[in-house]
């Protein structure tokens, strides 16, 4: 065992950041999977690049901050942060090297076979070279500003993850200065890859990299001087926001101030062209106060994520996943009261509230359309019997129909309360805009609780029906985001169950008035009862196993890292409970360890859709089995530092659907599954001669019918 492996494996818990890198290995592996359409494989490469960016600017940045405290240790594995940082850099270097190997030696050759070509400078025809020169002069040069480095032009501020070039020069400029170096920042508005038009090439899908165009024409930016070298580089910065919420009077204003500086946080990583001379690399490392461990030499464009434009520009649907149709659940039609009029063609639409009152409605995204949730809000906005609408908003996306429905409701005189989480990472700007829109429309907007992100997914509609007030509730595992609901797997439930409605009402009171309303009836809530409720049920399964009764736990989530939950699972495993965990990303639990976790398996599903469900099943052979859906993973932040909900699935049909479609079929998957090993690595599951089965594909087929 290497020193690096020993550092990260000498604990009963897998290091969180190490597990995150292993997740990205699994994503990257999809780019080489020949069973996946070729342009989709390119997309997986782009996703892995984006994931690595976030790893450095968030996770590694947090570890470096932690390393400033000599007494700090990582959680839950208890390692010294500086040791972990060293190990993670080594693993990250391996992944980055594999990314560029996949691009240059796998994807580009296979794309070339499909006549999708990335033409390097050395292979440009004279005709192509002329078109590119004109393109540079007309479209690039007017917006490029080269910065010569001298006492009056110090090293410029370099934006986080922006494309830049360091240029070495000989000769003198117009003022007789001989500086030797310049920086050329490239505006983000410029495309990083350009498709050659028919007049410039005979190929239908010929592309050139922006970096190649600039390399070939950079001398035009320095008339009278000789360019002796031009090398791309990119710096990744710490994007964590630092706000002491207890010391600010206006969270929105404080966030606006911090967001403006996010692009200039401390440098974490330097990416540079692999042919850049060492003296220029040392110069850049010194400027960004980085050591050689933070240096990543790359053989290709420094931002692979920008290649995600290629599938759209190539217009080759045969190299993409086949389109699928979302199932649309709409309200049934019922005859108009005037249906006796023989020639009338008008029919009234049954109210969605009537349908929910009759039976809980379960939506399984992305296989089910998100439209019923939008319809739910739109009906509420226009229904004269609706008195109030309350909703949590974590991520909504731009130009959201959800926001428009809430605006309409407020304008129609409904009591609209929106709990907007301004601190949703990388969505802060958009959430500030949406919060302002809702305030302008007359809605009550609150920003949750100081120190606790509001991550719960809830809508509560209060409706007068005769002489009664009824609660209609939507709770879900995913965000109210119209785009991600087409690519993230999530459950959402619309119900008129009185207990769930009362609990949702109490939680909204808690968020808006800060009153103590923790005595919920059926819903578990972070940071109060969710963790203890889960541990209690895990311990109950352990006790049943000790009594010789059947005991089973199946749980599906995005991440598992909370030590108390892991310890309870270890004890349950030792007691004989069969535990199947389906964890897409981070998992700090070590499965299959003798006398610790022999009865635990951990599976990760990587597929066409991002697995986002949070589902918790407890067999409870002493009574009725329990099944919960939740907005919360079994992560410390979700269980102890956020406002989250975990709701029981009480309708028996919904129960069976969630169990089958959310848990059981994933345990049968043998084409998109990876199995976690005790050392923290993952191996792909094979069909072993069985019929190949893919959970996501089976659900697409089922819902398409």
The arrangement of strands across the sheet holding 226-237 comes to 147-148, 181-185, 164-170, 226-237, 267-273, 295-298
Query: How many Å apart are CA 637 and CA 189, to the nearest integer?
Result: 36
In the residue annotation, 305 being an active-site residue is answered as no
Q: Which of 305, 455, 471, 612 is catalytic?
A: 455
Contact 250, 207 (CB under 8 A): no
Write out the E strands in 447-574: 453-454, 458-465, 468-476, 488-495, 524-526, 552-557
What is the DSSP code string of 265-311?
S-EEEEEEETTS-HHHHHHHHHHTT--GGGEEEESS-S-GGGGGGHH
Q: Are 62 and 240 in contact (CB under 8 A)?
A: yes
Tokens 């309350």 label which residue? 390
Q: For residue 549, what are the CA distances in angstroms to 90, 116, 133, 534?
A: 47, 60, 77, 20
Q: Please, what is the angle between helix 16-29 and helix 38-54, to 10°? A: 160
> Hey, is 554 helix, strand or coil?
strand
Tokens representing residue 408 in the block: 């309409």
Q: Which residues share a beta bridge with 458?
A: 475
Q: How many CB atoms neighbour CB 123 within 10 A?
A: 9
CA distances 389 to 337, 382, 443, 546, 553, Å, are 29, 11, 10, 47, 36
Answer whether 118's CB lies under 8 Å from 203's CB.
no
From first CA to last CA, the distance across the chain in angstroms is 52
Residue 234 CB partners (closer than 8 Å, separation 6+): 161, 162, 163, 164, 270, 271, 272, 302, 303
CB 631 within 8 A of CB 644: yes
Helices of type H across 262-360: 278-287, 310-314, 352-358
**What are the start-end ranges of the E strands in 149-200?**
164-170, 181-185, 193-195
Strand-pair category, 578-583 with 458-465: unpaired
CB 560 within 8 A of CB 589: yes
The rounded radius of gyration (Å) of the Cα atoms in the chain is 28
Sign of the dihedral defined by the CA atoms of residues 524, 530, 533, 534, in that order: positive
Q: Check: CB of residue 615 under 8 Å from CB of residue 556.
A: yes
User: What token pair was written down for 424?
Assistant: 């949703």
φ, ψ for residue 503 (rounded to 5)? -65, -45
- The DSSP letter of residue 156 is P
φ, ψ dihedrals at 529, nearest 5°: -115, -5
* Residues tagged active-site: 455
């Amino acid at each position: 065992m290497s020193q690096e492996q020993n550092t990260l494996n000498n604990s009963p818990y897998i290091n969180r950041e190490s597990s995150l890198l292993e997740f990205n290995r699994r994503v990257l592996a999809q780019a080489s999977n020949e069973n996946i359409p070729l342009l989709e494989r390119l997309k997986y490469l782009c996703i892995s690049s984006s994931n690595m960016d976030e790893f450095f600017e968030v996770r590694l940045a947090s570890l470096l901050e932690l390393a400033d405290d000599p007494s700090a240790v990582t959680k839950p594995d208890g390692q010294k942060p500086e040791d972990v940082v060293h190990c993670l850099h080594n693993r990250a270097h391996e992944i980055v090297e594999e990314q560029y190997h996949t691009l240059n030696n796998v994807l580009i050759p296979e794309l070339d076979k499909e006549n999708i070509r990335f033409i390097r400078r050395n292979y440009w025809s004279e005709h192509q070279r002329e078109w590119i020169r004109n393109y540079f002069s007309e479209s690039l040069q007017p917006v490029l500003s080269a910065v010569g480095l001298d006492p009056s032009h110090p090293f410029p501020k370099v934006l986080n993850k922006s494309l830049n070039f360091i240029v070495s020069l000989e000769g003198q400029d117009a003022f007789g200065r001989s500086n030797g170096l310049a920086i050329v920042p490239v505006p983000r508005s410029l495309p990083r890859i350009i498709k050659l038009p028919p007049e410039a090439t005979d190929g239908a899908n010929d592309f050139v990299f922006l970096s190649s165009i600039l390399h070939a024409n950079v001398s035009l930016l320095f008339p009278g001087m000789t360019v002796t070298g031009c090398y791309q580089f990119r710096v990744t910065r710490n994007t964590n926001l630092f706000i002491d919420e207890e010391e600010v009077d206006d969270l929105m204003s404080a966030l606006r101030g911090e967001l403006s500086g996010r692009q200039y946080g401390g440098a974490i990583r330097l990416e540079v062209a692999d042919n850049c001379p060492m003296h220029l690399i040392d110069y850049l490392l010194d400027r960004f106060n980085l050591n050689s461990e933070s240096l990543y030499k790359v053989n290709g464009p420094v931002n692979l994520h920008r290649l995600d434009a290629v599938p759209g520009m190539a217009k080759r649907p045969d190299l993409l996943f086949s389109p699928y149709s979302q199932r649309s659940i709409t309200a049934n039609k019922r005859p108009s009261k005037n249906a006796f009029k023989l020639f009338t063609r008008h029919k009234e639409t049954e109210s969605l509230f009537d349908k929910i009152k009759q039976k809980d409605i379960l939506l399984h995204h992305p296989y089910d359309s998100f439209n019923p949730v939008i319809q739910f809000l739109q009906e509420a906005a226009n229904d004269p019997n609706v008195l109030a609408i309350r909703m949590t908003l974590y991520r909504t996306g731009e130009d959201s129909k959800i926001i428009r429905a809430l605006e309409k409701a407020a304008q129609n005189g409904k009591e609209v309360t929106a709990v907007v989480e301004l601190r949703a990472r990388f969505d802060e700007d958009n959430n500030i805009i949406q919060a302002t829109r809702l305030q302008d429309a007359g809605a009550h907007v609150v920003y949750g609780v100081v120190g606790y992100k509001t991550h719960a997914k809830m809508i509560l509609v209060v409706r007068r029906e005769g002489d009664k007030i009824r609660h209609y509730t939507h709770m879900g595992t995913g965000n109210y985001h119209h785009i991600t609901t087409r690519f993230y797997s999530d459950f959402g439930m619309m119900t008129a169950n009185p207990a769930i409605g009362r609990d949702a009402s109490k939680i909204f009171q808690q968020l808006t008035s800060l009153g103590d309303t923790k005595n919920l009836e059926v819903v578990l809530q972070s940071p109060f009862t969710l963790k203890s409720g889960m541990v209690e049920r895990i311990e109950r399964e352990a006790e049943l196993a000790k009594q010789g009764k059947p005991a089973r736990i199946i749980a599906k989530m995005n991440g598992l890292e909370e030590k108390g939950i892991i310890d309870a699972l270890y004890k349950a495993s030792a007691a004989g409970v069969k535990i199947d965990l389906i964890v897409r990303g981070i998992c700090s639990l070590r499965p299959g360890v003798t006398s610790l976790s022999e009865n635990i398996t951990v599976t990760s599903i990587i597929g066409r859709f991002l697995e986002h469900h949070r589902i918790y099943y407890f067999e409870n052979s002493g009574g009725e089995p329990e099944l919960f859906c939740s907005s919360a993973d079994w992560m410390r932040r979700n269980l102890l530092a956020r406002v989250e909900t975990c709701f029981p699935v009480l309708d028996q049909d919904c129960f069976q659907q969630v169990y089958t479609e959310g848990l059981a079929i994933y345990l049968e998957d043998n084409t998109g599954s990876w199995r976690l090993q005790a050392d923290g690595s993952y191996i792909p599951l094979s069909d072993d001669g069985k019929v190949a089965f893919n959970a996501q594909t089976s659900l697409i087929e089922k819902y398409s019918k």
